[in-house]
Amino acid sequence: MKTQVAIIGAGPAGLLLSQRLDLEGVDNIVLESQSREHVLSRIRAGVLEWGSVEVLRESGVGDRMNAEGHLHDGTDIVWSGTNRLTLNTRVYADRPMMAYGQTNITEDLYAARDAAGQPIVHEVEEVVLHDLESTPSVTFSKNGRVERIDCEFVAGCDGFHGVSRSSIPPTQRREFEKVYPFGWLGILSETPPIDEIVYANSERGFALCSQRNPMLSRYYVQCALDTNLDDWPDDRFWEELKARFPSEIADSIITGPSIEKSIAPLRSYVSEPMRWGRLFLAGDAAHIVPPTGAKGLNLAISDVFYLARALSRFFNHHDDRYLESYSDMALRRVWGAARFSWWLTLLLHRFPDQGPFDLRAQEQELDYLSTSEAYMRSVCEQYAGLPFES
């Protein structure tokens, strides 16, 4: 097989890149190690920056999102029992946010690729990237048969555990990592969400009320890393969640059986550079952020925006300026989101080594955020997502 761009991974980053390249007339093939059913079963975040909404619309996959996505003006934070503030992005950053699940986005992208007659090669094994500094190719096995794709570029969109990043020699990459001493215990329930997305900084630990659609809610509580899911039946989870919110919020939470329950460890991770030879990384293959602030999916979309533009300019206009600047440009946004996610995680969680001074400093920062318009504007601008570089 031969193509212009071989895309490794059929998550949102890989599928969106395939969609945008196809719209620009750039030939591509997508390889995925899992089945389509498995990819669509992965339930992830669903809070979109407005820039991400616009990218999805420009990519021809916005109709369902426009109909079913829930617009909101930002996020509330509650602390010290009764204090509350709103990160109102419409007021302070002149743009709203949208709640629309990552599973829905993946479904929309699959439908678009199907409509374009662009098959995804699923359940591939033994994927190996070759000659990335000269004339790249990808070999893989499918149904016991070894196949090869000759290409001009490889896009690694295969996540943190994929083969793409590890194909860059260790001497050519630098990794930055921070592991947090807790995780998020989360459930998904087919119940109406509360009206707002609300973070809680509670003496019992962090909690979050989030949304997916009018009949799908996502809730989290901070937990120890060694937490056993078997020790958390639904009734215990709901009781603990409500204990971390003021009564007016707790009383509005509609409970019901969970349809998914999991524990997510929290980590900040960045690998530099995001390009080596003719290999380009996008999404979780290059960076991980804690879910505080909902930046992960949005970063993947911004990576794809920059990479699709760079590849289109190269193939359609013989201009490699954006290819040469891709890593630096993407990493500026990545580090901005990584810093913001780290800051928000520090602000809202209880850490094992926190003393009375640390807790008072947290409270004071939240008080300052609630009373300073300049600080609020800065935080909302970062939460809503900065404009893409031209």
Q: Annotate 11-41 with three-state secondary structure.
A: CHHHHHHHHHHHHCCCCEEEECCCCHHHHHH
pLDDT band of 196, cuts 50, 70, 90: confident
Distance, C-alpha 132 to centroid of its chain:
27
What does the mean pLDDT of the chain come to?
95
- To which H or E segment does residue 344 belong? helix 321-348
Residue 14, pLDDT score: 98
- Give every CB contact of residue 242 below 8 A, 6+ residues apart in sequence: 250, 253
Contact 18, 309 (CB under 8 A): no
Q: Mean pLDDT over residues 132-144, rounded?
A: 97
β-strands 153-156, 5-8: how paired?
Answer: parallel
Is 291 an annotated catalytic residue? yes
Q: Choose, from 242, 287, 295, 349, the residue flagged as catalytic.
A: 295
List pLDDT tens digits, range 332-380.
Answer: 999 999 999 999 999 999 999 999 999 999 999 999 999 999 999 999 9
Question: Per-residue pLDDT for 43 more than 90?
Answer: no
Residue 77 has pLDDT above 90, yes or no: yes
Threshold 0.75, pTM exceeds: yes
Which one from 100, 180, 219, 383 is the annotated catalytic residue? 383
Cis peptide before 96 (omega within 30 of 0): no
Among 92, 100, 180, 199, which one carries the catalytic annotation? 199
**2: annotated active-site residue:** no
Write phi, then psi, for 239 (nearest 5 degrees).
-65, -45
- Distance CA(108)–CA(355), nearest Å, equals 47
Can you say whether the dihedral through the CA atoms of 290, 291, 295, 300 is positive or negative?
positive
For 5-50+100-177+267-351, CATH gives 3.50.50.60
Query: Is residue 110 within 8 Å of residue 36, measured between CB atoms?
Result: yes
Is the Cα dihedral 177, 203, 190, 226 positive or negative?
A: positive
**pLDDT tier at 128, thresholds 50, 70, 90:** very high
> Peptide bond before 356: cis, by omega within 30 degrees of 0?
no
8 Å CB contact between 166 and 128: no
**Is the distance from CB of 303 to CB of 331 less than 8 angstroms?**
no
Give the residue from 166, 173, 168, 121 showing the smallest Cα distance to 147.
121
Given the residues 290, 291, 306, 326, select the one marked as catalytic.
Answer: 291
Cβ(363)–Cβ(80) below 8 Å = yes
For residue 122, indicate whether it is catalytic: no
**Residue with token string 């109406």:** 192
Percent of the chain at pLDDT > 70 equals 99
Q: What H or E segment, with its residue span, contains residue 335?
A: helix 321-348
- Annotated catalytic residue 295: yes
Residue 368 annotated as catalytic: no
Which pLDDT tens digit goes with each residue over 271-293? 999 999 999 999 999 999 999 99
Which amino acid is located at 130 in the chain?
H
Spot the catalytic one: 12, 72, 136, 322: 72
pLDDT at 341: 97
Provide the token pair at 237: 């989870």
| Per-residue pLDDT reduced to its tens digit, 26-36 | 999 999 999 99
Neighbouring C-alpha atoms within 13 Å toward the C-beta of 109: 29
What's the pLDDT at 324? 98
Q: What is the mean pLDDT of the segment spanning 145-151?
A: 97
Least-confidence region, from 18-32, 42-56, 141-155, 253-267:
42-56
Q: What is the DSSP letter of 134?
A: S
Beta bridge partners of 217: 189, 211
Domain boundary assignment for the chain: 5-50+100-177+267-351
Dihedral pair phi/psi, residue 125, rounded to 5°? -130, 165
Q: For residue 37, what pLDDT is reported?
A: 95
Cα angle 87-181-370, degrees, rounded to a multiple of 5: 20
Ramachandran assignment for 375, one of left (phi > 0), alpha (psi -120 to 50 degrees), beta (any other): alpha
Mean pLDDT of 245-266: 94
Pairing of strands 145-150, 153-156: unpaired
Residue 101 has a pLDDT of 87
- Distance of alpha carbon 188 from alpha carbon 259, whole angstroms: 6
